[in-house]
Amino acid sequence: MNYKKTLSIALMTCILGLNCMPISAHVFIKKPVIQSQVTEYKFTNVNLEWWKNYNDEILEGYIVKAIDNNQDLKIATLKVEESKQNVKMQFSKEVPTVAAGFAPALYKMNGVGNSESTFGYPVMVNYEADIFLKNHDKTKSVKKLHEVSQFNEKAAYIAIASRVGATYFNIVKLDKLISLQNEIIASRKQIYELMKQRNQQGITSTADLIRADKSYVLAMADLSDLIKSREIMLNALAVLIGESPNNINEFKRISYDELVYKKAIPEEISSEIITQRPDYLAAEKQVEKAGLDVKIAKKEFLPNISILGLMFFSTNSLGATMNWTNALSLLGGSLMLPLFSGGAKFANLKLNKNKYEQVLQTYYKTNLVAIQEVNDSLSSLKLDNEKHQKNLKSLNMQRADYKYMQKRYEQGIISGLDLLQQKENLLALDKMVVASKTECFIDQISLYKAVGGKL
């Protein structure tokens, strides 16, 4: 990376008055500190209390950092503000518009040698009388879009928090797997050295020695894959919390052996829970908006009533005081009923009815998908927990068996090679337990996301 070029770009950005961010920032997270620039409702969106069930302040700190710095969340918040301004723009069409100006003029009449000047001060008021509430319904329609953007923002917060949690637990899992893989490598290296000695003594064949060497090399390759996966996960976490990937080696995390989850697995979840999901609520508002749009399309067949008011003050002197003696006023109106538009209004009505049906079907689908995701997440959590308990039971039995083999080795009944092979079997089972335990944690996060954070 060209750091001089990067620094120049950063300095130029600051000079131009744009937001200045550090090129790289170190992450030392010990306690989640709620920063003042993050409003309380954002923490309500992610249900930060639920994340406390893991009893991991480092994880909570990453969630807080993502809420404050994640670019996708900032974009979602900006879209809410954008929709709010659209509501204000639409509402402006419900009230009269007033314009005032200054109109100087120079004129010369026939038969008169000198030209004359005059100064006008027009004031104009224009208002579309919303007798049939068409503009009011349009404002209500735009308000529905604003509500949709708010629910989309909440969904974005839940999704980002879930991704942070899942990524974090995968990193913790990979830390443990890398540690176990190093033990496996050390064990296979010992096996290879023992096989080499036995081959030199003519006890073990060369084919067995080659297989031991191959097993050792494959273990090294597996370690490289695990380290690569962890680095990718750390880079992903950096992006999620809005930090530079240059500092991933300094990212803190809990030890795998300290992972806990205090809350019990629910036996069942009511289907009513889906009514709290932001995507369900957003789909509901979209149906309401589509219904309003059909109503507005019908009102397009009604006449438009406009009222115009004009007040014009005219004077020959720029400094003269405006008064009623030199004022001209006008009040008028119009009622316009379109008689022929080439079928555009009928087409618009049918189009909005069609859109309403599409939105309604999307709403039904959202309902079904929400129920499916809740059921899938709960089933996966229960079944993966059962699998983890079985793996844990197998690991405990293997540990007991390994202790028994250690005693036999101390008694000289089995060789050191046999004991090393038993140790590798134990490490392989330990890796399975690590994977299944982490899968349960990720299933918990999936369930949290499926119920809209209301777990």
**pLDDT tens for each residue of 78-99:** 999 999 999 999 998 888 888 8
Interhelix angle 206-240/57-69, rounded to 10 degrees, is: 50
How far apart CA 26 and CA 4 sit, in angstroms, is 20
**Is the pLDDT confidence value at 50 over 70?**
yes
- Which residues lie closer than 8 Å to 241 by C-beta, 6 or more apart? 27, 62, 65, 66, 69, 70, 164
The one-character DSSP state at 303 is: P
CA 360 to each of CA 281, 291, 364: distance values in angstroms, whole numbers, following the listed order: 13, 10, 6
Residue 130's closest CA among 293, 303, 294, 295?
Answer: 303
**pLDDT tens for each residue of 356-402:** 999 999 999 999 999 999 999 999 999 999 999 999 999 999 999 99
- Please state which of the ranges 271-275, 391-395, 401-405 shows the lowest mean pLDDT: 271-275
Higher pLDDT among residues 313 and 130, named by residue: 130
What's residue 320's pLDDT? 58
Calculate mean pLDDT across residues 149-165. 95
What's residue 455's pLDDT? 77
What does CATH list as the number for 29-69+130-302+337-450? 1.20.1600.10
What's residue 327's pLDDT? 75
Give kind and range of the element (H or E) at residue 314: strand 304-315
Asked if residue 244 lies in contact with residue 238, where contact means CB atoms within 8 angstroms, the answer is: yes
**Is the pLDDT confidence value at 5 over 60?**
no
**Residue 125 bridge partners (DSSP):** 98, 309
What's residue 152's pLDDT? 95
Calculate mean pLDDT across residues 211-236. 95
3-state secondary structure 32-80: CCCCCCCCHHHHHHHCHHHHHHHCCHHHHHHHHHHHHHCHHHHHHHHHH
How far apart CA 425 and CA 405 sit, in angstroms, is 12
Residue 290's closest CA among 184, 140, 121?
Answer: 140
Band (23; pLDDT cuts 50, 70, 90) = very low
**Is the pLDDT confidence value at 41 over 50?**
yes
**pLDDT tens for each residue of 248-259:** 888 999 999 999
- Please state which of the ranges 39-48, 176-185, 216-225, 252-261 shows the lowest mean pLDDT: 39-48
Question: Which pTM does this prediction carry?
Answer: 0.82
Calculate mean pLDDT across residues 148-155. 94
Higher pLDDT among residues 69 and 130, named by residue: 69
How far apart CA 41 and CA 38 sit, in angstroms, is 9
How far apart CA 34 and CA 192 sit, in angstroms, is 54
What's residue 21's pLDDT? 36
Calculate mean pLDDT across residues 137-159. 94
**Amino acid identity, residue 361?**
Q
Calculate mean pLDDT across residues 212-220. 93
- Please state which of the ranges 2-11, 145-154, 301-310 shows the lowest mean pLDDT: 2-11
